[in-house]
Structure 1
Amino acid sequence: MPKFPKSASRPLALAVTLSVLLAACSQPQGATPTSALPADDLGLWAAPANVPADVPGELIVKVRARTPLNAQTLGLGALLLRAERLTPGGDVYRLTVPSGREAQALHTLSARGTVAYAERNHTYTPQGAYIVNDTFYSTLWGLQGSTTQPASPYGTGAAAAWARGYTGSASVYVGVVDTGVQIDHPDLAAQVWTNPADPADGVDNDGNGYVDDTRGWNFTDGSSALYTGNADKHGTHVAGIIGARANNAQGVAGVNWAVNLIPTKFLGTSGYGDTANAVSAIAYLTDLKVNRGVNVVAINSSWSGAPSQALYDAISAANDAGILFVASAGNNGVNADAQPAYPAAYDLPNVVSVTAIDKAGALPSWANTGAGSVDLGAPGVSIRSTVNGSTYATADGTSMATAFVTGAAALYASTHPGVSPSALKAALLASVTPTASLQGRTVTGGRLDVARLMTLP
C-alpha cells in the first residue's frame, strides 16, 4: 500500500471521496494575486473555473488476477454503463456509472472479493501561469549561475555545465506528462521523439495498442494528435525548459541541448486532467522502456491533485522500470507536510518533489514547502520558454521549477548511463546549494545546482 506523509490520512482502498488541490495559477484560488503574478496578466493562462474534484460518473477499479470484468463479477448490474482498460493487457479499468450514483457503486464494489481497490477518477491541474513574451537568451536567468555571463547567482548554473562540455544526449528520453506539446515548434521539432516502430500509416505497427503513436500519444481523446493550439501552452513551455534546442540562432535554450522528449497528453482543453488518463500516460512511458527498449530516464509531472491508489501504483511501476518521477510541489502557498499535493507527496524512491524560488533566491508566497516532503527548490518565477504558435512566453509556477529538475536529471543521465532512479534522486539532492529561503522548509534546504551535479561521480 502507498506510504503517504504521516500527517496525511492514507486514502481508503474503497469508497472515499477526496477533495482535489486546485492551483493552476501561482497563488491559492481566491487569493489576491501576488506581485509575482500581476492580476491583469492572468488571462494568458488562468485556472479554469469550477474544476470538479472528480470526473462525474467515473470510477477507477483494479480487479484481482484472472477476474473477468463484467457487471456480474463487479456486482454493479445496470450501474455499469461502460468499462475501459487503462493499459493494454492491464487489470486497471475506468468504469462509467450514472452521474450521482458513484458512492453507491463504490459501496457495492467494496463488498466484492474480485476487486483489489476502487476509487473516484480525480482531477489534476497544471501548476504554472503565463505572463509576457520574450525570446532573448540573456533573460534566461534560470539557466545561468554565479560564474556565467550573464550571471545570475540563484540560477541553476546549467550554462556552467555546458561550458565543461555537458550538453545532453539524444540517447536520453524524457516523458512529458502534461498538456500536448507543439511538436513542430522551431525550438522543439528536433527534440521530440519519433517512434521508429510505428510510422503514421493507420496501423499499430509496434502492437502496443496505440495506432500511429509516432511522436507520443493524446490520452484525452485516444489519438495521435498532440497539439491543438492554446490549450497546449503549458506542456510546450515545460518541454522547452527541459530541452529546447540551443545554438540555433533563435528563441531559448533548454537545460539539455540534446534530448528526446516524449509528449503524453493527459491535461485536456478543459484545463485539467484525470487519474485514468494520467495512469495510462505513465504506463505508456513505462511500457516503452520495459518492452520497447526506449531509454526513458525521467517523467516530468508539473501538475497536482488528490491521492490515488492507481496513480501510486503507476508511479511505483515506473520506479521498478528505472524511471525517475519529478513532481510539482504545488502552488497553494501551504505547508505540504500538513496539506500534501499529489503525486509529489508520494513516499516512493523515484519521486522528487520540487518547489520554486525567484531570481533573488526568495520563496514566492504561492509556492508549497515542506521540511519533510518537498525535496528542493528551483527557478520558478519569470521563466521564459517555448509556447504554442511557435512563440515564447514567461511563466511562474512550481511547474517550471519541476521542469528544471527534470532537465537536470536528464543531463546527469547522459553521462551516467543506467543510473537508477534512487541514485539519480540522491545525486540531485546531494548537489544542492544551501539557500536561506529553503532552510527548514525543504528536505535539503537547498536549490538545484546543475553545475555541481555534473561534478559528481
Structure 2
Amino acid sequence: MATWSRRCACTLATLLFAGTAWSTSLYADEPTTPRGWLLLAVDRLCAAGPLPGVEAERRLPGAWLLDERARGPGGQTVALEQVFALPGSGELRLLRLQPGGQLRRFTAEYHSLDDHRTRAQLQAVAGGDCDIFAGRRLTYREGRPAGLDQLEGDLETVRWHETLEAPWPEGRDPGGPRVALVDSGLAYDLPLYRDRLARGADGTPLGYDFWDLDPLPYDGDFGRSAFQPIRHGSAVASVLVREAPTAAIIPYRYPRPDMTRLGPLIEQAAASGARILAMPLGSRDPEDWTAFASALTAHPQLLAIVSAGNDGRDLDREPLWPAALDLPNLVVVTSADGFGRLAPGANWGAESVDLMVPAENLEVRDFRGAAGRASGSSYAVPRVAALAARLLAANPELETPDLKAALFARAVASPYEENVVAAGWIPDPATD
C-alpha cells in the first residue's frame, strides 16, 4: 500500500485528486438535480472567465445571486466566490482559483435547504481545462454526515467510500490508565482501537461528540469544508496506542461550534476516570479557552498535555492558547528532530513551552488504517501523553504534581538549542 505524509499543527489537511477527466457537456438545459446544476455551472461558467454575478445569472436559468466575493491584490481577481439561490430549495456555490490570471481550479457545490439550514450534497472539481476530474457526495443519517463518496468526473461512479459515522465496536476495556483524547474524533471502528477504548460498566465505550452533541465522536472536522473533512484525531491516536500499550482511550470530538463546551468535556473526562488529557489543538483567541481553564483548574487530578503549534513563533512574545495558560496541571510540548533540534516551523518559548520531543516523520495510521508519516507538535502530544500513561501504569498512586515532575525528570539539555523550552528535550519518550 502506498504511504502518505502529513505535517499538521492541529487541523490542516489537503486532499489531492487525480484521474480521468470527463466532459461537462452532459447537462440538461433546465436542470432538476444537483448533478445537473453542477454540470451546467461548469459548462457555462468555468471557461467564461470571472463573470460578475449578473452575467453569471443569465447563464444559470432561474438562479439569482446571493453573495459574491473577489480576492486579489491591486484589483486582480485571484479567487472569486459566488453563491446563487436556485429554483426550489437549493444553493449553488462556485469557487474560481486563478493565481496570476491563469485558471487552476473551478469548484462547484450543490447545497440543499432543509428547515432553513443548508446542507452540502454534491461537489464537482474541474481543472484549468474546465473538465471535471473528481467529485464528492455526502450522505446523511439523522441530519448528520454519515458517509462521503469520492466520485469520478461523471459525478456518479464511486471511486471509494469514506465512513463519517459508525456504531461503537464490540471489545474489551484494556484496564490501564485512562487517557482522554480531544481532537477531530477517532475512527474507532478500526481494529486498531477495538480493544483500546475505555468502556463503562455496560461495555459501551466512553467518549462523546461535543461538536454534534451525540455519543459517537467519529473522526471528522468539517469546519473548513463539508467535502474535505480534516481527519487528524486517528493519526494522533495511532501514536498514543502504540507507545502506551496498556492505556485506555476516551475519544472526544472537540466543540468547534461552541468552545464553552470544553468545560463539560473536562467534567465528563474527569468523571470517566481519565488522569491524562491529550489535546493537540489551539487557537489565537483566549476566549476559546476560558471554560477549559476553569474546568481544568477544578480537576487537578487531570494532567493536560497540549501542543505548542506550528507557526514558527516564540510563544513568549506571540502567545497561543491553551499553551499560554499558566496552570500547574498543564504541560506544553513541541516538536524536535531526533538530535534535539527544534523542528522547522515548530513553536517554542523559554517560558511558555515545557518540553521538546522527537515528533518528525513519525509512523502513523490514518482514519482508513493506512500507514503514513506525520510531523509537527500535534504528534509530540501523544508521545508525551503515552509516556505519562506508562509512568502511571507503573505507579498508579502518582499524584499529578509527581507525574508532571517525573516527565520533566526525563528531559535533558539539547546539544543544539538554548532557551527554546523551559524543561528540556526528551530524546527517547517511547522507552522506559
DSSP-derived class of the 2:406 partner = helix
Q: 1:328 touches 1:402 (CA, 8 Å); kept in 2?
A: yes
CA deviation string 1:89-127 (max 9, x = no partner) = xxxxxxxxxxxxxxxxxxxxxxxxxxxxxxxxxxxxxxx
The answer for the alignment partner of 1:242 in structure 2 is 240
1:180 aligns with 2:185: yes
Q: 1:411 to 1:273 in 2, by over 3 A?
A: farther
Shift in Å, 1:335: 0.7
Is 1:299 matched up with 2:277?
yes
Residue in 1 that maps onto 2:415: 436
| Structure 1 pair 274–361 and aligned structure 2 pair: CA distance change class (3 A) | farther
The residue number in structure 2 matching 1:220 is 211
* Aligned pair partner of 2:295 in 305, 308, 314: 314
Select the structure that is richer in strand: 2
Give the aligned CA root-mean-square deviation in angstroms: 2.8
- 1:434 CA displacement: 2.2
- Give the residue type in structure 2 aligned to 1:259: A
- Structure 2 counterpart SS, 1:413: helix
Tell me how far 1:198 sits from its aligned partner.
7.2
1:107 counterpart residue number: none
1:259 aligns with 2:257: no
Say if 2:277 and 2:302, in contact at 8 Å, map to a contact too: yes
User: What is the alpha-carbon distance in structure 2 between the residues aligned to residue 172 and residue 220 of structure 1?
Assistant: 25
Name the counterpart of 1:8. none
Q: For structure 2, which runs of at least 5 residues remain unmatched after alignment?
A: 1-5, 17-70, 72-173, 221-227
Q: Deviations over 1:202-241 (max 9, x none)?
A: xxxxxxxxxxxx4311111111122256746211111111
Q: What is the TM-score when the length of structure 1 is the normalising length?
A: 0.53
Distance 2:420 2:211 in 1: 36
Deviation per residue, 1:395-448 (Å, 9 max, x gap): 121110111001100010001112111111111111113213442111023225
Q: Whole-Å Cα distance in 1 between the matches of residues 249 and 229 of structure 2? A: 19
Higher Rg of the two aligned structures: 2
Which range is displaced more, 431-440 or 343-352? 431-440
Please state how far the C-alpha of 1:197 moved relative to its aligned partner.
Answer: 4.4
Structure 2 CA distance for aligned equivalents of residues 448 and 360 of structure 1 = 8
Q: Distance in 2 between matches of 1:197 and 1:28?
A: 33
Q: Partners of 1:387 and 1:406 in 2: how far apart?
A: 19
Q: Contact 1:28 / 1:366 at 8 angstroms: preserved in 2?
A: no
**2:219–2:253 contact (8 Å) kept in structure 1:** no
The amino acid that maps onto 1:402 is: V
SS of equivalent to 1:237: helix
- Return the letter of the residue paired with 2:211: T
For residue 345 of structure 2, what is the aligned residue in structure 1?
366
Q: Aligned in 2, Cα 1:434/1:217: closer, same or farther, shift over 3 Å?
A: same
Q: Name the CA distance, whole Å, in 2 between partners of 1:279 and 1:391.
A: 34
Question: 2:334 corresponds to which letter in structure 1?
Answer: T
Alignment of 1:198-217 (within 5 A): 199=204, 214-217=205-208
Q: Give the corresponding residue for 2:65.
A: none
Separation in structure 2 between the aligned mates of residue 352 and residue 232 of structure 1, nearest angstrom: 25
In structure 1, the residue matched to 2:231 is 233
Task: Give TM-score, length-normalised by structure 2.
Answer: 0.55
Q: How many residues are paired up?
A: 261
CA distance change for structure 1 residues 355 and 274 in 2, over 3 Å: closer, same or farther? farther
The aligned counterpart of 1:111 is none
Amino acid aligned to 2:291: A
* Higher relative contact order, chain-length normalized (CA < 8 Å, sep 6+): 1
Identity %: 28
